[in-house]
A and B are shown apart, each in its own frame.
Chain A
C-alpha cells in the first residue's frame, strides 16, 4: 500500500466512508491489539479494547483534522482505554499463583517453557506502559521502527531509545534464565 492511497483511505474513513473505515480496521486492528496486550497482558481484554477503540473512533472520527495522523490517534485511544481498564482491575491479584500451579502441573521441557513464559511476562510487566506497547508491537507484528513510531505517535528516532532501554532492562532481569538456557 503506497502512502498516497493510504492517505486517501484515511480521508475517506474520516469523512464517513464505512468501507474505507473497515479497511482501516483490518489494517490497524493487529497493531492496536499489540498495544493493548502490551499494557493489559490479557488477550480477551485486549480484544475488547480494540473493539471499543474502533467504535469510539467511528463515532468521533470528525475530530481528526489531519488524516495522516489517524493511526497515531487510534493508537492513543487504544492506549488510553487499555490504561483505564488496567487501573480498574488493579485490585485483582496477579496471576502468578496460577502460573505456579501450571508449573506444578507440567514438568520437563514444557515446564521449563512455561517457567520462561512467566519470567518474560513479569519482566515485561516491569516496564512502563509505552515501552511495553512498543515491545509488543515489535515482537507481535514485526513492524519496522518507522511504523511503530507512527502508530505510537512518537517523533523520529525516539523509538530506538525506548526499545533499547526496554530490552536492556529485561535482559538484566532475565539474566539468570538466559544464563540457564545459554
Chain B
C-alpha cells in the first residue's frame, strides 16, 4: 500500500473532487482506515476543500458576466458589410489564398507576354509542343522497333502539313488524352505504313527517301524540288483567259512627225498597226498629239521598250482586264439565242396556219436575230480587244513653252494744264478718227467753278506719236509718262527668234485748269513810293501788258498814315524778265526774294511755265507817330504805375491765400496745447492741496 501512501495528495484531491473510480475509492478508503497520517491529511483536505469552495465562490464571475462579454465583443468587432465581409472572410481560408495568388501570377505572366509581343506566337508554339509530345509518345510506344518510329516522325514533317494538323487537332479535341488514344486516333500513320508495306507509290518520293537518307536531309531535299513545280501549272490557266491589255505612254520628243513615222515603223515590226493619230498645233508652233497603236499582246512589252528610244518617257501605265467571264457568258447566251432562232424558223415552216401567230413568231424571230447580232458584235469586239493590245501614246514636242512672238503694249499718261479747259477738251475730242478711238471722256466742274477733264484714247501704233504730239501742243504739259510692257505669246520663256509687234497705244489724258498749277518761280518784292494808289494802277497796266494775270490784290492804311497795296500776279516765264525791268520804273525796288521750284526730271516748256510775283507797294507815312510826345509819355507812365500797383495787390492776395490755412492750423494746435497744460497744472495743484490736508 506504499503506492497509495505516496500518491496520497493525488488520490486525496481526486477523491474530494469525486473523480476516483469505485475501485480506487475503495482502495483509498481502506488505506485511510489503516494509516493515521493519511487520515489526518484527509481530514485537513476535506476542510480545505470546503474553505476553498467557500472563499472562491464569491470570486467567480457574476451571472451577467457572459452577457457583458458578448455585448462588449459585439462593440469591439462590428459586423462587416456583406460583400467585403464575405471577401475578407474568404481571404482567411487557405485554399482561397492559394487560388488568388495563382490567379495573380497567371495574370502577371499573361500581361508580360502581351507587353513583350509574344502574344502572336503561343499558338504555333503550342502546336509544336503538342507534336513533340506526340513524337515522344510515339517513341514510348514504338521503342521496341526504332525504325518504325523514325518513319513516323519524318512522315509527320515531310507531308504537306495537313496530316500534321489533323493529328494535332485529334490531340487537341480531348485535352487529357492518354497515349493509347493518341496512337489509335492518328489515322494517317497506319495508312502510310500500309502503303509502304504494299510498295504503292502514292507517297513514293517521301517513302523512298526515308529508306535511303536520314530524316533531316530528306526534309530539305523534299522541299526544294517541290517549289518550281508550281510555276508551270500557274501558266496553264492564263492561256485560256481572255485578257485585254492596254498601255498608255507619254513622251516628249524633238519632232512630232518624225516620231509618228518611227512609231508606225515599230508597230509594223511588232505586227501591229497605227489606228488613229491626232495632232494639235500650239500657239508657238509646237505640235502635241496622240497616237493609238494596236499590237499583238505578246509583243506589247517589246513595243513599249522600243518606244523609250523615241524620246523622253514622261509616264507609262499598263493595265490588264480579265474579260473571260463576260466573254463566255456572252458566248453561251449566243448559243442559246441561236437555238431559239432555229426553233422559231421551224415553227414558221411547219405550223403556218394563223396569220396573227405567224406575225408574232416573225416578230420574235426578228428580236432574237437582233440579239444574236449584238452578241456577235460584242464577241467580235472583245476578240479584237483581246487579239490586239491598245497602246495610247501622247507625244509632245520639246520646249513647248518657248514664246512665238512678243507684243509691245504702250500706255501713255498725259497731264495737261489749260487756260480754257473746255475748249481744249473739245479740241482733243475732235481728233477722233478710225485710228484714234476715244474710249472714255469726262469733264468735271466743282462748286468753286474749277473745271477738270479726263480722256482715254486708243491709238493705232502708226498714228500714236503724231497724235500725242498734237495733244501736247494744245496745252501746257505738266507730266508725260509712257510705260511699255513686252507681253510674250504662247509661253513665258525667252524666245530668240520671236518677233516683236507694237500693239495699240493707250493714252490717258487729264486736263486741269492752269490756275491750279504750282508756279515754277515765285518772287516777292517791295516798292516804296509816296503815291501808292497811282503806282498800283500803273503796276496793273504793266502786268496786263506782259501777259500776266492778277490773282489777288489788297490795300490798307495803318495808324501812322502808311499805305500798303499788295498785288499778286502770274506771268509766263518768258515775260518775267521784262516785267521785272518795267517795275523799276515804278519806284525803288527793295527786298527782292526769288524762289524757284525746279522739277528736275520733267520735260516742261519753261517759257510758258507760270511765275508768281507778289508786289507790295507802300508809302513812308508820318515821321512822328501819334504815340510820342509829353502827354502820351505821361499817360503811359501813369498807366504803367497803376498797373504795377494792381499787380502788387494781386501778389498780396496770393500770399494770404498761401499762408492763411497754415497759420490757422498752427494757432489751433497751440491753443489746444495751452488748454491741456493748464488743465494739468490745475489738477496738480488740487492734488497738492489734498496732500496738504491729509
Contacts and interface: CB of A to CB of B under 8 A. Distances in A.
Contacts of A10: none
Given A25-B70, A54-B73, A171-B45, A43 B13 contact: no
Interface in A23-63: 25-26, 29-30, 33-34, 37, 43, 47, 50-51, 54-55, 58-59, 61-62
A182 B17 CA distance: 20
A138 B44 contact: no
Given A33-B60, A33-B65, A55-B77, A174 B48 contact: yes
B65 A171 contact: no
Contacts of A62: 92-94
B3 interface: no
Interface stretch (A81-89, A95-103, A157-165): A157-165
Given A58-B77, A171-B41, A178-B48, A163 B17 contact: yes
A181 interface: yes
B11 A43 contact: no
Interface in A121-174: 121, 135-136, 138-141, 144-145, 160-161, 163-168, 170-171, 174
B47 A145 contact: no
Interface stretch (B51-59, B380-388, B412-420, B428-436): B51-59
Contact of B89 (A16, A22, A140): A16
Nearest to B93: A62
B70 A178 contact: no
A175 B57 CA distance: 21
A34 B10 CA distance: 22
B14 interface: yes
Given A140-B59, A181-B51, A164 B77 contact: no
Nearest to B73: A54
B73 A58 contact: yes
A137 B7 CA distance: 22
Contacts of B74: 22
Contact of B56 (A139, A163, A178, A182): A139
A50 B76 CA distance: 13
Query: Which interface class (under 10, 10 to 19, 20 to 34, 35 or more) fits A?
Result: 35 or more
Contacts of A30: 60-61, 65-66
Contact of B13 (A47, A160, A175): A160
B207 interface: no
B17 A145 contact: yes
B125 interface: no
B56 A140 contact: yes
B351 interface: no
Contacts of A136: 56, 59
Contacts of B48: 167, 170-171, 174, 178
Contacts of B51: 116, 120, 174, 177-178, 181
A116 B56 contact: no
B12 interface: yes
Contact of B9 (A18, A117, A164, A182): A164
Given A62-B92, A116-B55, A141 B60 contact: yes
A115 B626 CA distance: 153
B19 interface: yes
A80 B174 CA distance: 57
B33 interface: no
A138 B220 CA distance: 91
Nearest to A33: B61
B632 interface: no
B60 A140 contact: yes
Contacts of B77: 55, 58-59
Contacts of A182: 43-44, 47
Contacts of B14: 145, 160, 163-164
Contacts of B44: 171, 175, 178, 182
Nearest to B52: A139
A4 B689 CA distance: 110
A88 B382 CA distance: 112
Interface string B520-554: 00000000000000000000000000000000000
Given A25-B66, A51-B72, A34 B13 contact: no
B43 A22 contact: no
A167 B13 contact: yes
A171 B94 CA distance: 50
Nearest to B7: A164
A50 B55 contact: no
Nearest to A161: B10
A74 to B, nearest CB: 12
Contacts of B59: 37, 43, 136, 140
Nearest to A26: B66
Interface string B110-137: 0000000000000000000000000000
B79 interface: yes
A161 B14 CA distance: 9
Interface string B19-32: 10000000000000
Contacts of B70: 22, 25-26, 29
Contacts of A166: 13
Given A16-B92, A33-B60, A164 B55 contact: no
Contacts of A170: 48, 52
A103 B79 CA distance: 49
A168 B92 contact: no
B10 A164 contact: yes
Nearest to B49: A167
A182 B55 CA distance: 16
Contact of A167 (B12, B68, B89): B12
Contacts of B19: 144-145, 160
A29 B10 contact: no
B69 interface: yes
A181 B47 contact: yes
A35 to B, nearest CB: 12
Nearest to A166: B13
Nearest to B97: A62
A128 to B, nearest CB: 15
A177 B17 CA distance: 22
Contact of A160 (B10, B49, B52, B89): B10
Contacts of B12: 164, 167-168
Nearest to B18: A144
Given A43-B59, A139-B53, A22 B9 contact: no
Interface in B89-117: 89, 92-94
Contacts of B61: 29-30, 33-34, 43, 47, 140
B56 A18 contact: no
A175 to B, nearest CB: 7
A168 B49 CA distance: 11
A18 B57 CA distance: 31
A120 B17 contact: no
Contacts of A174: 48, 51
A88 B153 CA distance: 78
B55 A120 contact: yes
Interface of B: 7-14, 16-17, 19, 41, 43-45, 47-49, 51-53, 55-57, 59-61, 65-66, 68-70, 72-74, 76-77, 79, 89, 92-94
6 contacts: A51-B73, A55-B73, A58-B73, A164-B12, A174-B51, A178-B44
Interface of A: 15-16, 18, 22, 25-26, 29-30, 33-34, 37, 43, 47, 50-51, 54-55, 58-59, 61-62, 116-117, 120-121, 135-136, 138-141, 144-145, 160-161, 163-168, 170-171, 174-175, 177-178, 181-182
Task: Across the A-B interface, give the 3 residue pairs with the lowest CB-CB distance, nearest first.
Answer: A164-B10, A168-B9, A62-B92
